[in-house]
Amino acid sequence: MIRTIKPFEYFEAKTVEYAIKILSMYGNKAKVLAGGTDLLISMRERKVNPQYVVYIKNVPELNYINYRREFGLEIGAMATLQSITESRVVIEKFSALATACSKIGTPQVRNMGTIGGNLCQDTKCLYCGPILPREETSCYRGGGNICYAVNGAKRCQAMAIAETAPILICLGAEVSISTPIGQKTTSLEDFFISSGIVDLKEDEILTAIKVPNPPPNTEGMYLRHSLKGALGFALVGVATVLTVINGVCKDVKIGLLGVNRTPIRAHKAEQLLKGEKINDSLIDRAVQVALKESHPLGDIFGSARYRREIVRVLIKRVINDTHRMLK
């Protein structure tokens, strides 16, 4: 529906410090604006109505893609998805990340959207829409005990859909967060909390994503499945980072999106593969274990069974293909 956005007071931040100052002053009445491809939809649909909006996309210290051999890759939170897709160093050294960014949305959305925004976006529920103020919903999301999206669901079915998350988690990424009392760093895996959103307080801003260098003999891959092909969010996303030496799996990380409320690592499946020679039956067993860890949820776009099927195929494919690349 095309409606107008409710009036708000606008601040353009040129530094992180200024942005945090505004957020601290106005608390939950304020929101940061980056690419706008998520927030502005919710504001137009009147589901989120901040009285104060802080525009952070022009903060120079947040927009960069740096690589150093000693430290690895560091991406500012305001780097657009398209700039990461096109970045020479990302394509050469972290190609699966470039792939993940290239699959999100449309070219227009990739030009506008930022990696920080992608990671920090709220969980998506079909019934509640992109974002509904939790105070206004009486389902699990708002603290109630019913789910309106899926009949008989025992818990909230809203899911994280941040497509940059699985591969970044597999790569061991860390995030830098700016708070009123200083900077802090946490692993991306820990940054997602069980409800599917990230652990960011009202007066905190995600400033950077740090990705360490993968060890030698390592390849990564990201595959996703979307109902609408190139357009539309991923129903399921599977990432892997695999290290193989002399035919033996030295290390493996498997990241899954769309099979749980939050992006997860298939830890038990990884343990199964580590130290073994990779073959078809091993991969099949690992997939079974990963599915048991997943608890895929179902909604209108895809039943739990359908997601399970797709995940099965994609995990097999990413392990096989990365293994082949390393032979």
Partner 1 sequence: MREQVAKFIVNGRVYEILIEPRMTLAEVLREKLCLTGTKLSCGKGSCGACTVLINGKTVCSCLTLAITAKEKNIITIEGLAKDTTLHPLQKAFIEYGAIQCGFCTPGMIISAKALLDENSTPTKREIKQALVGNLCRCTGYVKIVDAVMAASEALAKGDR
Residue numbers of the site for partner 1 (CB under 8 A)? 1-10, 12, 33, 36-37, 40-41, 44, 53, 55, 57-58, 82, 105-109, 111-112, 230-231
Q: CA-to-CA distance for 166 and 189, rounded, in angstroms?
A: 9
Of the pair 23, 112, the CB lying nearest partner 1 is at 112
Between the two ends of the chain, the Cα-to-Cα distance in Å is: 52
CB of 40 to partner 1, least distance (A): 5
81 or 289: whose CB is closer to partner 1?
Answer: 81
Give the integer Cα–Cα distance in Å for 168 and 214. Answer: 12
> Shortest gap between Cβ of 33 and partner 1 (angstroms)?
7
Shortest spacing between CB 24 and partner 1, in angstroms:
20
Nearer to partner 1, 5 or 146 (CB): 5
- DSSP string covering 58-83: T-GGG--EEEETTTEEEEETT-BHHH
User: Sheet harboring 9-12: ordered strands across?
Assistant: 9-12, 52-55, 30-33
Are 281 and 259 a contacting pair, CB within 8 Å? no
Least distance from C-beta 91 to partner 1, angstroms?
16
Q: Please state the closest distance from residue 287 (CB atom) to partner 1, in A.
A: 31
**Whether the Cβ atoms of residue 231 and residue 261 lie closer than 8 Å to each other:** no
Instruction: Determine the Cα–Cα distance for residues 222 and 254; give it in Å rounded to an integer.
Output: 10
Q: How near is the Cβ of 3 to partner 1 at its closest, in Å?
A: 8
- The residues, ordered by sequence, that sit 6+ positions from 120 with a Cβ below 8 Å of its Cβ are 197, 198, 200, 206
Q: Residue 170 carries which side chain, given as an amino acid letter?
A: C
Sign of CA dihedral 278, 282, 283, 287: negative
**H or E segment and range at residue 291:** helix 280-294
Q: Which two tokens stand for residue 172?
A: 């061991």
Residues contacting 151, CB < 8 A, separation 6+? none
Closest CA to 171 of 276, 88, 73, 85: 73
Q: 170 or 223: whose CB is closer to partner 1?
A: 223
Closest CB to partner 1 among 40 and 313? 40
Q: Which is nearer to partner 1, 231 or 245 (CB)?
A: 231
Residue closer to partner 1, measured from CB, 50 or 72: 50
| Pairwise CA distance, residues 174 & 324, whole Å | 28
| Nearer to partner 1 among residue 13 and residue 158 (C-beta) | 13
- Least distance to partner 1, CB of residue 74, Å: 23
Residue 230 C-beta: closest distance to partner 1, Å: 5
Nearer of residues 162 and 311 to partner 1, judged by Cβ: 162
Shortest distance in whole angstroms from residue 292 CB to partner 1: 35
Query: Which residues partner with 32 through β-bridges?
Result: 54
